[in-house]
Amino acid sequence: MTRYILRRVAAMVVTLWFIVSATFVIMHAIPGDPFVTEARLPETVLANLRAYYGTDRPLGEQYVRYLGGLLRLDLGPSFKSDTLGVNEQIALGFPVSAQLGLQALVLALALGLGLGMFAASRAGGLVDGFTMLVGTLGISVPSFVVAPLLIDLFAVRAGWLPVAAWGSFASTILPTVTLAVAPLAYIARLTRASVLETLGQDYIRTAHAKGQPPLRVLVHHALPNALIPVVTILGPITAGILVGSFVIEFIFGIPGTGRMLVRAIFERDYPVILGSAVFYSTLLLAFNFAVDLAYGVIDPRIRVERSMS
Amino acid sequence: MIGTKSRDTLAEAVADADALAPASSRPGVLRALLGHRTGVVGLVIVVVVALVALAAPLLAPDDPTRVDALRRLAPPSPDAPLGTDNLGRDILSRLIWGARLSLGTAGLAALLILTIGVGLGMIAGFYGGLLDDLLMRVVDVLLAFPALILALAIAGVLGPSIASVMIGIVTVAWADYARVMRGQVLAARERQYVEAARATGVRDARILARHLLPNVLPPILVLASLEMGGLILTISGLSFLGLGAQPPTPEWGAMLNDGRAFIGSAPQLMLFPGLAISIVVVGFNLLGDGLRDAFDPHLRD
């Protein structure tokens, strides 16, 4: 197991290095100087700016410097903000995005699993039809359609919730719901399909035959196996929630890393774009790794295979 | 020369016999899709929208970019069936031209993704070795990348436009197909019909194109249909943020962003483009689900 973990961590470092290099090259392959704006700064000021940020150095040197900074967990200064470096911007924004993402994940998991299981246990019924409808609409209707609708209905017309302000719990409700819609739909569909398949297995028939109560068969016999596919997609889903929040942060005016990235792209703030890519990739790799480790706990068969290889 | 020719045909006859099972059930796939209730709904939606996109110049009642200050934010009327936007442009005409843009860009992106992904995946799976290792390394990196962020970054670097959004998306999205395809080819490579074709001297390119491709295509078609929905969502999402289509281009995502300020006073600005995107994406997703069920013999019986 230790060897497996070490090997995975080494592979992650290599992947991360690839990602950093690729993004670095893309960022520097574009013609144009990020400091040249409509404001027309004097040449001496531009020279000072370039010297300060090191963009007057040869590319190779900038690259080595950047990698050196990464080793010290330093993502460098931002082009557009004098006071906040990339690290500080992420440190400010990420807790907000993480809170939003976590709330959405909990909501999506609770409702998605519930709906999916209930629908499968009464396949063909009313709840099942409803779940399939939610499952299709949820992955098809984009968040930038859902959000304005929710804002108009619940904030503007009904006046129950605040409009575009981040702070109180009430202000997080609409963005959380919007962000949860798509993953909820995925989880509900997957859970339904997986439970349905498990319920057709022989050992479930055996459990019924020996007189186990239906609810016990569902919860104790079917669920543990049916949940494995759901765990499989938890990594990508969590990543999707984290990354996918930038449209929602943009609409609701939430000061998270998503809005930071969109702003950075408009302002051509390359260090922030590069830093975001590095930060999100690390997060994504770590998530997938954690999920892979979790399989072993949930499914003993995988643990055995791994220890034998 | 005659010798090689006849050997080639022989190999194909052998291979065809081996491939007969999946090939003969192909009419069944269409029948299964047509018997799939929601799949048919998806098919109808996709076909209708595709026809609207093709016939946009004939169907649109007005020029989608014609500004008319005298009828700003007008509600639906015989003059403008779905009302007008904040610049007095006819919303119906913008939606119809928008269908052309959305389907066109998503379709082109899907075609590029499929060509690159399927091509490289097949080559990697068929030849193996160093080439395979290298390609799969690249695929691993791309799959570990937060795809949307890379697409965003590329689009940002190239400057906001539909083309940069497409380049950004294609750059990352082919990797998934390459991986699926490689797995399919790896499995199919050991099948008898491939062995037979190779034993009788059929060239590699021909084996790949004529013998392997038809047999590994079904799962790719399902993925592609589901991918179209996702592509339309991503492209219109980036346009909504202002990174894709630029004004005055009639694009659904951009129209939604234009309408944000008027949701209370003139809801038609957001309502109709929102409906358009949702219906089209539902269509592709239902079609994809239907295709998957149709291709799956377990479910068909």
First-to-last CA distance in chain A? 10
Q: pLDDT for A274-286, tens place per residue?
A: 888 888 888 888 8
Residue type, B80: A
Residue A214 has pLDDT above 70, yes or no: yes
Q: How many residue pairs from chains A and B have C-beta atoms closer than 8 A?
A: 116
* Average predicted confidence (pLDDT) for chain A: 84
Q: What is the 3-state secondary structure (H, E, C) of B34-58?
A: HCCHHHHHHHHHHHHHHHHHHCHHH
Test mutation, B152, B164, B251, B270, chain A, max A CBs within 10 A: B152
Could you tell me which residues come within 8 angstroms of residue A80 by beta carbon, excluding any fewer than 6 positions away?
A264, A267, A269, A272
CB contact under 8 A, B144 and A265: no
Are the C-beta atoms of residues A242 and A280 closer than 8 Å to each other? yes
For the segment B270-277, the average pLDDT, to the nearest whole number, is: 93
A19 — contact with chain B (CB < 8 Å)? yes
CB within 8 Å of B171: residues ≥ 6 apart: B150, B151, B154
Contacts of A244 in chain B (CB under 8 A): 148
Query: Contact A152/B149, CB-based, under 8 Å?
Result: no
More confident residue, A56 or B199: B199
Query: What pLDDT, on the 0 to 100 scale, is given for residue B300?
Result: 46
- Cβ contact B243:A265 at 8 Å: yes
List of domains in chain B: 22-61+88-300 (1.10.3720.10)
- Chain B interface includes A288 (CB < 8 A): yes
Contacts of A15 in chain B (CB under 8 A): 140-141, 144
Q: Which domains does chain A have, with CATH numbers?
A: 88-308 (1.10.3720.10)
Token code pair at residue B230? 């996702």
* Contact of A257 with A90, CB cutoff 8 Å: yes
Residue B247 and residue B67 in contact, taking contact as beta carbons nearer than 8 Å: no
A140 with B285: Cβ contact below 8 A = yes
Partners of residue B90 on adjacent β-strands: B84
Q: Residue B73 — left, alpha, or beta (φ > 0 → left; ψ -120 to 50 → alpha)?
A: left
Cross-chain Cβ contact B153/A23 below 8 Å: yes
Mean pLDDT, residues A187-200: 89
Per-residue buried b or exposed e for B157-178, using 16+ beta carbons within 10 Å of the residue's own CB: bbebbbebbbbbbbbbbbbbbb
Q: In a mutagenesis test of the A interface, which of B134, B145, B232 is the best target, namely the one with the most A β-carbons within 10 Å?
A: B145
Lowest mean pLDDT among A138-142, B198-202, B253-257: B198-202
Q: Judge contact between B101 and B165, C-beta under 8 A.
A: no
Nearest CA in chain B to A237: B146
Res A164: pLDDT: 63
Tell me if chain B has a CB within 8 Å of the CB of A145: yes
ipTM over 0.90: no
Q: How confident is the model at residue B20 (pLDDT cuts 50, 70, 90)?
A: very low
Q: Which residues of B touch A141 (CB under 8 A)?
A: 274, 277-278, 281-282
Query: What pLDDT is recorded for position B49?
Result: 95
Across B179-185, average pLDDT:
85
Residues in chain A with CB shorter than 8 Å from the CB of B289 are 136
Please give the sequence-ordered ranges of beta strands (E in DSSP) within A135-248, or none if there are none.
Answer: none
Inter-chain CB proximity B260 and A148 less than 8 Å? yes
Chain A residues touching B233 at Cβ < 8 A: 140, 142
Dihedral in degrees, nearest 10, Cα atoms B39, B40, B45, B51: 130
- Report the percentage of chain A scoring pLDDT > 70: 92
Residue of higher predicted confidence among B160 and A180? A180
Under the banding of pLDDT at 50, 70 and 90, the label for residue B210 is confident
Regarding predicted confidence, which is higher, B244 or B143? B244
Q: What is the mean pLDDT of residues B157-164?
A: 83
Chain B contacts in chain A segment 199-258 (CB below 8 A)? 239, 243-244, 246-247, 250-251
A294 compared with A177, residue with greater pLDDT: A177
Whether the CB-CB separation of A23 and B156 falls below 8 Å is answered with: no
Nearest by CB: A18 against B141, B274, B278: B141
Interface of B with A (CB under 8 A): 38, 137, 140-141, 144-146, 148-150, 152-158, 229, 233, 236-237, 240-243, 253, 256-257, 260, 263-264, 267, 270, 274, 277-278, 281-282, 285-286, 289
Q: Tell which residue, A126, A108, A123, A93, has the closest CA to residue A176.
A: A108
- Model confidence over A17-52: pLDDT tens digits? 888 888 888 877 766 666 766 667 778 887 887 777
Tell me the pTM: 0.84
CA-to-CA dists, residue B41 to B45, B182, B284, B290, angstroms: 6, 32, 10, 9
| pLDDT tens profile B61-111 | 888 888 888 888 888 888 888 988 888 899 999 999 999 999 999 999 999
Q: Which two tokens stand for residue A291?
A: 């999920």
Taking alpha carbons only, the member of A271, A214, A284 closest to residue A86 is A271
Please check the confidence at residue A103 and state whether its pLDDT lies above 90.
Answer: yes
Give the best residue of B36, B239, B241 to mutate against chain A (max A CB count within 10 A): B241
**Closest C-alpha among B128, B130, B161 to residue B242:** B161
What integer is the mean pLDDT of B202-229?
82
CB atoms within 10 A of CB B63: 13
pLDDT at B5: 36
Token digits for A95?
Answer: 């807790």
Supply the pLDDT for residue A239. 77
pLDDT at A309 > cutoff 70: no
Q: How far is A263 from B247, CA to CA, in rounded Å?
A: 19
